[in-house]
Amino acid sequence: MQKLNCIIVDDEPAAIRLLERYVADVPFLILQKTFTKPLEALAFIESNSVDLVFLDVQMPQLTGVQLSKIINPNTKIIFTTAYSEFALDSYEVAAVDYLLKPIAFERFYKAVLKVQSVDSESVLSNKDAEDYIFIKTDGKHNFNKVFLEGILFIEGLKNYVSVQLKKEQIITYSTLKHLSERLPSYQFIQIHKSYIIALSHIDKIENDAVWIQGKQLPIGNTYRKKFFEIINKRQL
Protein backbone atom coordinates (compact mmCIF):
# COMPACT_ATOMS: atom_id res chain seq x y z
CA MET A 1 0.00 0.00 0.00
CA GLN A 2 1.05 3.58 -0.65
CA LYS A 3 2.48 5.33 2.43
CA LEU A 4 0.51 8.36 3.63
CA ASN A 5 2.11 11.24 5.53
CA CYS A 6 -0.40 12.47 8.09
CA ILE A 7 -0.82 14.96 10.91
CA ILE A 8 -3.31 15.26 13.77
CA VAL A 9 -4.95 18.58 14.63
CA ASP A 10 -7.00 18.62 17.83
CA ASP A 11 -7.10 20.93 20.85
CA GLU A 12 -7.67 17.98 23.22
CA PRO A 13 -4.43 16.15 24.21
CA ALA A 14 -6.37 12.99 25.11
CA ALA A 15 -7.89 12.84 21.62
CA ILE A 16 -4.44 13.28 20.08
CA ARG A 17 -2.99 10.45 22.16
CA LEU A 18 -5.75 8.07 21.04
CA LEU A 19 -5.21 8.91 17.37
CA GLU A 20 -1.45 8.57 17.78
CA ARG A 21 -1.95 4.98 18.98
CA TYR A 22 -4.29 4.24 16.10
CA VAL A 23 -1.91 5.70 13.50
CA ALA A 24 0.98 3.67 14.96
CA ASP A 25 -1.04 0.49 14.40
CA VAL A 26 -1.58 1.17 10.67
CA PRO A 27 1.54 0.30 8.63
CA PHE A 28 0.86 2.65 5.73
CA LEU A 29 0.36 5.76 7.91
CA ILE A 30 3.36 7.93 8.80
CA LEU A 31 2.66 10.45 11.55
CA GLN A 32 4.66 13.61 10.91
CA LYS A 33 3.44 15.79 13.76
CA THR A 34 0.52 16.68 16.05
CA PHE A 35 -0.94 20.12 16.70
CA THR A 36 -3.29 21.69 19.23
CA LYS A 37 -3.34 25.04 17.39
CA PRO A 38 -4.87 25.21 13.89
CA LEU A 39 -2.68 28.09 12.67
CA GLU A 40 0.49 26.16 13.54
CA ALA A 41 -0.88 23.18 11.63
CA LEU A 42 -1.61 25.41 8.63
CA ALA A 43 1.97 26.71 8.58
CA PHE A 44 3.29 23.13 8.68
CA ILE A 45 1.00 21.96 5.86
CA GLU A 46 2.08 24.85 3.65
CA SER A 47 5.76 23.93 3.94
CA ASN A 48 5.56 20.13 4.06
CA SER A 49 4.09 17.31 2.02
CA VAL A 50 1.00 16.18 3.95
CA ASP A 51 -1.30 13.58 2.42
CA LEU A 52 -3.87 13.31 5.20
CA VAL A 53 -5.10 15.44 8.11
CA PHE A 54 -7.09 14.10 11.06
CA LEU A 55 -8.92 17.30 11.87
CA ASP A 56 -11.05 18.22 14.87
CA VAL A 57 -14.03 20.42 14.01
CA GLN A 58 -14.42 22.57 17.12
CA MET A 59 -11.18 24.44 17.90
CA PRO A 60 -10.12 27.96 18.90
CA GLN A 61 -8.67 30.38 16.31
CA LEU A 62 -10.09 28.40 13.36
CA THR A 63 -12.66 25.64 13.19
CA GLY A 64 -11.67 22.48 11.39
CA VAL A 65 -14.05 23.32 8.54
CA GLN A 66 -12.49 26.78 8.12
CA LEU A 67 -8.99 25.31 8.13
CA SER A 68 -9.92 22.65 5.57
CA LYS A 69 -11.03 25.35 3.14
CA ILE A 70 -7.63 27.05 3.31
CA ILE A 71 -5.24 24.14 2.88
CA ASN A 72 -4.17 22.57 -0.40
CA PRO A 73 -7.18 20.69 -1.89
CA ASN A 74 -4.91 17.74 -2.68
CA THR A 75 -4.56 17.08 1.06
CA LYS A 76 -7.21 14.61 2.24
CA ILE A 77 -9.31 15.39 5.32
CA ILE A 78 -10.83 13.07 7.92
CA PHE A 79 -12.87 15.07 10.43
CA THR A 80 -12.99 14.02 14.09
CA THR A 81 -15.54 15.51 16.47
CA ALA A 82 -17.87 14.82 19.35
CA TYR A 83 -20.75 16.62 17.64
CA SER A 84 -22.71 14.72 15.01
CA GLU A 85 -24.44 17.88 13.78
CA PHE A 86 -21.21 18.95 12.06
CA ALA A 87 -21.35 16.02 9.62
CA LEU A 88 -22.94 18.16 6.92
CA ASP A 89 -19.99 20.55 7.07
CA SER A 90 -17.65 17.68 6.20
CA TYR A 91 -19.52 17.06 2.96
CA GLU A 92 -19.32 20.77 2.12
CA VAL A 93 -15.53 20.51 1.86
CA ALA A 94 -15.45 16.99 0.38
CA ALA A 95 -13.89 15.31 3.41
CA VAL A 96 -13.05 11.63 2.93
CA ASP A 97 -14.82 10.67 6.16
CA TYR A 98 -16.28 11.89 9.43
CA LEU A 99 -15.39 10.15 12.71
CA LEU A 100 -17.58 10.68 15.75
CA LYS A 101 -15.83 10.62 19.14
CA PRO A 102 -15.21 8.36 20.98
CA ILE A 103 -13.60 6.76 17.94
CA ALA A 104 -13.30 2.97 17.73
CA PHE A 105 -10.22 1.58 15.96
CA GLU A 106 -12.33 -0.43 13.50
CA ARG A 107 -14.12 2.74 12.38
CA PHE A 108 -10.80 4.61 12.19
CA TYR A 109 -9.27 1.89 10.00
CA LYS A 110 -12.23 1.93 7.60
CA ALA A 111 -11.79 5.67 7.20
CA VAL A 112 -8.08 5.50 6.32
CA LEU A 113 -8.77 2.68 3.87
CA LYS A 114 -11.12 5.09 2.10
CA VAL A 115 -8.18 7.47 1.64
CA GLN A 116 -6.16 4.67 0.07
CA SER A 117 -9.10 3.88 -2.20
CA VAL A 118 -9.47 7.51 -3.31
CA ASP A 119 -5.74 7.71 -4.15
CA SER A 120 -5.82 4.41 -6.05
CA GLU A 121 -8.80 5.50 -8.14
CA SER A 122 -7.02 8.75 -8.93
CA VAL A 123 -3.91 6.92 -10.13
CA LEU A 124 -5.96 4.56 -12.27
CA SER A 125 -7.97 7.36 -13.83
CA ASN A 126 -4.75 9.23 -14.68
CA LYS A 127 -3.17 6.21 -16.31
CA ASP A 128 -6.29 5.45 -18.32
CA ALA A 129 -6.93 9.06 -19.30
CA GLU A 130 -7.50 9.97 -22.94
CA ASP A 131 -4.98 12.18 -24.69
CA TYR A 132 -7.59 14.89 -25.26
CA ILE A 133 -10.48 16.68 -23.58
CA PHE A 134 -13.50 18.61 -24.83
CA ILE A 135 -13.75 22.22 -23.65
CA LYS A 136 -17.07 24.01 -23.84
CA THR A 137 -17.08 27.37 -25.62
CA ASP A 138 -19.89 29.81 -26.46
CA GLY A 139 -23.25 28.18 -26.99
CA LYS A 140 -25.05 25.30 -25.33
CA HIS A 141 -23.55 22.54 -27.47
CA ASN A 142 -20.28 24.08 -28.68
CA PHE A 143 -17.08 22.26 -27.71
CA ASN A 144 -13.43 22.40 -28.77
CA LYS A 145 -11.46 19.16 -28.84
CA VAL A 146 -8.11 19.93 -27.22
CA PHE A 147 -5.16 17.54 -27.18
CA LEU A 148 -3.43 17.53 -23.80
CA GLU A 149 0.03 17.81 -25.33
CA GLY A 150 -0.98 21.17 -26.79
CA ILE A 151 -1.91 22.77 -23.47
CA LEU A 152 0.81 25.07 -22.11
CA PHE A 153 -0.93 26.23 -18.94
CA ILE A 154 -4.36 27.02 -17.53
CA GLU A 155 -5.22 30.22 -15.68
CA GLY A 156 -8.13 30.68 -13.28
CA LEU A 157 -10.18 33.85 -13.84
CA LYS A 158 -12.83 33.81 -11.07
CA ASN A 159 -15.72 31.88 -12.67
CA TYR A 160 -13.80 31.24 -15.89
CA VAL A 161 -10.57 29.57 -16.90
CA SER A 162 -8.24 30.41 -19.74
CA VAL A 163 -6.64 27.42 -21.48
CA GLN A 164 -3.46 28.59 -23.19
CA LEU A 165 -2.52 26.49 -26.21
CA LYS A 166 0.51 26.83 -28.47
CA LYS A 167 -1.30 29.03 -30.98
CA GLU A 168 -4.54 30.11 -29.33
CA GLN A 169 -6.37 30.73 -26.09
CA ILE A 170 -9.70 29.21 -25.08
CA ILE A 171 -11.82 30.75 -22.33
CA THR A 172 -14.55 28.62 -20.78
CA TYR A 173 -16.99 28.90 -17.89
CA SER A 174 -15.40 26.56 -15.35
CA THR A 175 -13.02 26.43 -12.38
CA LEU A 176 -9.43 25.32 -11.96
CA LYS A 177 -10.56 22.64 -9.52
CA HIS A 178 -12.95 21.14 -12.07
CA LEU A 179 -10.33 21.09 -14.82
CA SER A 180 -7.60 19.71 -12.55
CA GLU A 181 -9.78 16.67 -11.83
CA ARG A 182 -9.88 15.91 -15.56
CA LEU A 183 -6.14 16.26 -16.18
CA PRO A 184 -3.56 13.50 -15.56
CA SER A 185 -1.32 14.41 -12.61
CA TYR A 186 1.79 13.00 -14.30
CA GLN A 187 1.44 15.67 -17.02
CA PHE A 188 -0.02 18.65 -15.19
CA ILE A 189 0.51 20.25 -11.78
CA GLN A 190 -0.97 23.24 -9.99
CA ILE A 191 1.74 25.71 -8.99
CA HIS A 192 -0.43 28.58 -7.76
CA LYS A 193 -4.05 29.17 -6.79
CA SER A 194 -4.49 30.65 -10.29
CA TYR A 195 -2.29 28.40 -12.45
CA ILE A 196 -2.00 24.80 -13.61
CA ILE A 197 0.94 24.09 -15.91
CA ALA A 198 2.06 21.35 -18.27
CA LEU A 199 5.36 19.92 -17.00
CA SER A 200 6.55 19.13 -20.51
CA HIS A 201 6.33 22.78 -21.60
CA ILE A 202 8.45 24.31 -18.82
CA ASP A 203 11.35 26.21 -20.38
CA LYS A 204 13.04 27.15 -17.11
CA ILE A 205 12.45 27.65 -13.40
CA GLU A 206 13.94 30.81 -11.97
CA ASN A 207 13.40 32.99 -8.89
CA ASP A 208 10.35 31.05 -7.67
CA ALA A 209 8.69 31.31 -11.06
CA VAL A 210 8.11 29.04 -14.03
CA TRP A 211 8.71 30.23 -17.58
CA ILE A 212 6.64 28.80 -20.43
CA GLN A 213 7.12 30.28 -23.92
CA GLY A 214 8.14 33.67 -22.53
CA LYS A 215 5.36 33.81 -19.93
CA GLN A 216 6.42 34.06 -16.28
CA LEU A 217 4.11 32.21 -13.88
CA PRO A 218 4.51 32.47 -10.08
CA ILE A 219 4.93 29.47 -7.79
CA GLY A 220 2.65 29.84 -4.77
CA ASN A 221 3.78 28.95 -1.25
CA THR A 222 1.07 26.31 -0.86
CA TYR A 223 2.21 24.44 -3.97
CA ARG A 224 5.98 25.01 -3.86
CA LYS A 225 7.07 21.91 -1.93
CA LYS A 226 5.12 19.41 -4.03
CA PHE A 227 6.22 21.09 -7.25
CA PHE A 228 9.93 20.95 -6.42
CA GLU A 229 9.62 17.36 -5.22
CA ILE A 230 8.47 16.44 -8.71
CA ILE A 231 11.15 18.57 -10.38
CA ASN A 232 13.92 17.08 -8.20
CA LYS A 233 12.89 13.57 -9.24
CA ARG A 234 13.50 14.51 -12.88
CA GLN A 235 16.76 16.38 -12.54
CA LEU A 236 20.02 14.94 -13.87
Domain CATH code at residue 196: 2.40.50.1020
98 and 117 assigned to the same domain: yes
Q: For position 212, what pLDDT does the model report?
A: 95
Structurally, the chain folds into a number of domains equal to 2
User: Which tops the pLDDT comparison, 133 or 216?
Assistant: 216
Point out the domain boundary residue: 127, 153, 173.
127
Question: What's the pLDDT score for residue 85?
Answer: 56
The reply to whether 141 and 99 lie within a common domain is no
**Residues 147 and 209 reside in one and the same domain:** yes
| β-bridge mates for residue 147, sequence order | 132
In angstroms, the CA 102 to CA 81 distance is 8
* Same domain, residue pair 15 and 115: yes
Residues 137 and 179 in one domain: yes
65-108 pLDDT, tens digit each: 888 888 877 789 999 988 655 544 444 556 788 888 889 999 99
Find the domain containing 32 and state its range: 4-127
Cα dist. 14→19, 27, 235 in Å?
Answer: 9, 22, 44
Find the mean pLDDT for residues 17-23. 96
- Residues 6 or more apart in contact with residue 51 via CB below 8 angstroms: 4, 5, 6, 75, 76, 115, 119
Query: Taking residues 27-38, what's their average pLDDT?
Result: 94
- The pTM is what? 0.52
pLDDT digit string, tens, across residues 132-155: 888 887 766 788 888 888 999 999
* Region for 220 from its dihedrals, namely left if φ exceeds 0, alpha if ψ lies in -120 to 50, beta otherwise: beta
Kindly report which listed range (57-61, 180-184, 206-210) carries the lowest average pLDDT score. 180-184
Give 36 or 1, the one with higher predicted confidence: 36
